[in-house]
A and B are shown apart, each in its own frame.
Chain A
């Protein structure tokens, strides 16, 4: 009798064990043994194999204008690029200070400076040391230079103060534009910008702060004179442009600088380029992020084309760091260029290359992580603490929300979606 009961019990145990083992072995099962959420299982596999999503992502990338990096490149003259490199590192471009382009566009920060607001003339050192060095604060974040001046890259600076529209360069030079190449025009601006490369003194303010192209020409003439007098710079420029040193002008200097920036910071093939054009692989998380980027995240509505930027102007209700271009913690963005009220709080869509190196993000560098930057696009309230803000700051934020809410907004993405998007953006690095 005892052995019979045991056998019955054993059969029941066996049936239970069988059921448990079926549940445990079925990895596609939505039971807790398999995964806590819908995508976790797929994510454990490093290489994506979902053929539908892979082909959709490739097709979407091409449809939205992705091209091979070599098609974006503007070819230059190596000797002129080399001369531009010397100028990029030279403090002689600073009218009355000692700052070079390279002081704010550093390799270790992905061609930015790693700070929220830029520190202009008077700043010493890099990173936090520079921030505390007493240099003049510029109320905007240093824009990374990746892709700048390549083919189709026609809007410069985060407010678009130099732009190519219908083949015509629009800039603060008005009809006295120094070049038909917007990149060359763009490199004219920092050396003539007070606080950026020029120390702001009362005398200088009286004499030079007049928005006068003639005064800017005087600054360029002085810089050209210094370059001619510098044996290294003068020699390199004379050799590169095939003219005597005394004939070197600021036109040559700006051209050399533009060529150097175009060449050094040109876009190289990323893993995403290799995936789209050469059959390379992506991880499951990168693939998920890509599908969100081109699909319900609607990121591609603005981050499209070869540079992942439409080079148009949009509002994102980022928090504002620092005193802002318009003071009192306000930065009205593209409005400062056009004075059209419709352009208030709009900024140029940022290209998306090498993002992990170029923190912090936004026009004022107010968010430190890529996740926060993504969240600011669809859930900006998460980044704000209205109770701690002044009435003015809160009212300004409210105005920015109003404009930003008119943009093509993504669906409400969850943290996992944001993490996938971050993984996808990492595939845009080189």
Chain B
């Protein structure tokens, strides 16, 4: 009976679709996990670089506001050039979204990058905390 059903093209197409949807449904979290894992290092690096560039730019602007000079102006200009790395960050992030990552997952990746040294803190606490 089942073999006869398989010979029915409507049924077989429907089955493939159902299996595909089921596979897709089951594979989606796995897929996203893989994409996140593969890209954590590069994306995390861009997060860090863009954050540093934004901070440098902001501080250069503050210095220029406090003590305007040609030198301070050029420092702001260098800060602006430094911000180019944030464009790389943006483009990379958009490609990750194209590959199915949501804003939540991207936030998780950014958090991981920001807390890259959290492991060290755990070790410090484990070594030094007073145990009753």
Q: Is the CB of A411 within 8 A of B78?
A: no
**Beyond A38-B46, A414-B45, is A294–B3 a contact (Cβ under 8 Å)?**
no
Contacts of A11 in B (CB 8 A): 16
Q: Is the CB of B38 within 8 A of A8?
A: no
Which of these binds chain B: A56-64, A131-139, A331-339, A362-370? A56-64
Q: Is the CB of A291 within 8 A of B38?
A: no
Q: Is the CB of B84 within 8 A of A411?
A: no
Q: Is the CB of A8 within 8 A of B15?
A: yes
Cα distance A412–B46 in the bound complex, in angstroms: 12
Q: Is the CB of B74 within 8 A of A63?
A: yes
Q: Is the interface of B mostly helix, strand, loop or mixed?
A: helix
Q: Is the CB of A294 within 8 A of B15?
A: no
Contacts of A301 in B (CB 8 A): 74-75, 78
Task: Please tell me if B88 contacts chain A, counting CB pairs below 8 Å.
Answer: yes
Q: Is the CB of B95 within 8 A of A29?
A: yes
Q: Is the CB of B3 within 8 A of A295?
A: no
Contacts of B56 in A (CB 8 A): 296, 298, 411
B41 CB, min distance to chain A CBs, angstroms: 7
**CB 8 Å contact bits of B1-33 with A (1 = contact, 0 = none):** 011101100001001100110000000000000
Cα distance A4–B12 in the bound complex, in angstroms: 8
Closest to A15 in B: B20
**Beyond A64-B74, A296-B52, A301-B75, is A31–B7 a contact (Cβ under 8 Å)?**
no
Cα distance A12–B16 in the bound complex, in angstroms: 7
Contacts of B74 in A (CB 8 A): 63-64, 300-301, 304
Q: Is the interface of A mostly helix, strand, loop or mixed?
A: loop
Task: Please tell me if A46 contacts chain B, counting CB pairs below 8 Å.
Answer: no
B112 CB, min distance to chain A CBs, angstroms: 16
Which of B3, B42, B92 is in CB contact (< 8 Å) with A1? B3
Contacts of B49 in A (CB 8 A): 296, 411
Q: Is the CB of B85 within 8 A of A1?
A: no
Contacts of A36 in B (CB 8 A): 41-42
Task: Please tell me if B114 contacts chain A, counting CB pairs below 8 Å.
Answer: no
**CB 8 Å contact bits of B51-76 with A (1 = contact, 0 = none):** 01100100000000000000000110
Task: Please tell me if B35 contacts chain A, counting CB pairs below 8 Å.
Answer: yes
Q: Is the CB of B96 within 8 A of A30?
A: yes
A382 CB, min distance to chain B CBs, angstroms: 17
Chain A, 380-415, CB within 8 A of any chain B CB: 408, 411-412, 414
Cα distance A39–B74 in the bound complex, in angstroms: 27
Cα distance A35–B78 in the bound complex, in angstroms: 29
Q: Is the CB of B6 within 8 A of A31?
A: no
5 new A-B contacts, CB < 8 A, other than A36-B42, A296-B85, are: A12-B20, A35-B42, A60-B77, A295-B83, A411-B82
Sample 10 A-B pairs with CB under 8 A, ordered by A number. A1-B7, A7-B12, A36-B42, A37-B45, A53-B84, A60-B77, A291-B81, A296-B85, A411-B56, A411-B82
What 3 A-B pairs are tightest by C-beta distance, nearest first?
A: A1-B3, A296-B82, A295-B81
Binding site for B on A (CB under 8 A): 1, 4-5, 7-8, 11-12, 15, 28-32, 35-39, 52-53, 56, 60, 63-64, 291, 294-296, 298, 300-301, 304, 408, 411-412, 414
